[in-house]
Structure 1
Amino acid sequence: MASVLTDIWVKCEKLDCVNSFKYLGAFFASERAKPEILARIAQTTAALTHLKTIWNIRKIALSSKIRLMRSLVTSILLYACESWTLTVDTGRWIQAMEMGCLRTLFGITYRNHIFNEEVRNRTRQVIRPLEDLLPTVNRRKLKWYGHVTRSTGLAKTILQGTVQRLDWFDAGRRHDET
């Protein structure tokens, strides 16, 4: 599906039209959020791997490991998630990443044939108020949207962009031209 590029004007200034850009460490592209989510998953996997020695220490309680994972690992994944356009596929990727993290903490491999629901139950037994990542992403998106709609300025103008309405004179002139 080809996208149509149109000129965007904000307060009488034309904005440059680009296919992708990086802003504050987050990658924004015309292909929705797919490249950004894949990059975040790769960075999260790298962080999880770097902390492998901590995950293997038996003296650290599982609840502490889960808290460490939430603060050190999943925070990398959730950075700038407010700007993502989620699809069914990207939602599955996020859930798979979360399951991979939890399986690593519990020392569960896919060869153990333990279902994801069992992994979630074990997690809830260790630490009760643990929200899944996908609802967390959706909650953050809604929170950001509410913040922007309550504000004034360029962000609100762009987010709630509207087309300037034609008055009756312009509409009549346009009708005569066709």
Structure 2
Amino acid sequence: MEFSRTPNLVGDMDFGGSKLEAVSTFKYLGSTITSHNMIQEEVRLRIAAGTRCSWALDNILRSRNLSRPTKTQIYTAIIRPVVLYRCETWALTRQLENILEVFQRSILRRIWGPVWDDGATIMN
């Protein structure tokens, strides 16, 4: 990967007869690094991984044999770490925080069900 103020300045390189391709993104230690250092791609991929994890646990999260607090602990112990892996290095904007909160609410909504306000009904 090349980092430069002018894109495509370096391009592909040859080292001892081996050609190294210039790429715009790559995975390093489980994190996606982009040439423009944009964290949106990493957050998008982390949410996709969390969604895959939640669907793998779907039969557990929808089970009537487990209590809701137990399911919430499963979310906290298994799904949330998948999404927030290496998040301490992220410089989040309010937009990215909202995206992460939407994901969290969708999982918790699946565990706890719809919220009923006083006097309000949910229409089908």
Same fold (TM over 0.5): yes
The equivalent residue for 2:45 is 39
Matched, 1:67 2:73: yes
Unaligned runs of 5+ in 2: 7-21, 118-124
Equivalent residues in 2 for 1:19-58 (5 A)? 19-29=24-34, 30-58=36-64
Using the TM superposition, give the Cα deviation of residue 61 of structure 1 relative to its aligned residue in structure 2, in angstroms. 1.2
For the residues of structure 1 that align with 2:28 and 2:74, how far apart are their CA atoms?
27
Using the TM superposition, give the Cα deviation of residue 21 of structure 1 relative to its aligned residue in structure 2, in angstroms. 3.1
Q: Is the 8 A contact 2:46 2:83 kept in 1?
A: yes
- Name the % identity: 27
Number of residue pairs the alignment of both structures matches: 98
Task: Find the residue that maps to 1:45 and give its secondary structure.
Answer: helix
Deviation track 1:98-138 (CA, whole Å, cap 9, x = no partner) reads 10110011133xxx676xxxxxxxxxxxxxxxxxxxxxxxx
Deviation track 1:54-106 (CA, whole Å, cap 9, x = no partner) reads 11211211111111111111110010112212112111101101101100111
Q: Is the 8 A contact 2:62 2:110 kept in 1?
A: no
Unaligned runs of 5+ in 1: 6-16, 115-178
Answer with 1 or 2: which has the greater Rg.
1
The equivalent residue for 1:4 is 5
For the residues of structure 1 that align with 2:116 and 2:24, how far apart are their CA atoms?
43
Distance 1:59 1:34, change over 3 A: same
Task: Find the residue that maps to 1:93 and give its secondary structure.
Answer: helix
The equivalent residue for 2:110 is 104
For the residues of structure 1 that align with 2:28 and 2:55, how far apart are their CA atoms?
26
Task: Find the residue that maps to 2:33 and give its secondary structure.
Answer: strand
The letter for the 2-side match of 1:86 is L
- TM-score (ref. length: structure 1): 0.50
For the residues of structure 1 that align with 2:37 and 2:56, how far apart are their CA atoms?
30
More helix by share: 1
Q: Is the 8 A contact 1:32 1:85 kept in 2?
A: no
- The list of structure 1 runs, each at least 4 consecutive aligned residues, that deviate by more than 4 angstroms after superposition, is none
Matched, 1:93 2:99: yes
For the residues of structure 2 that align with 1:56 and 1:19, how far apart are their CA atoms?
40
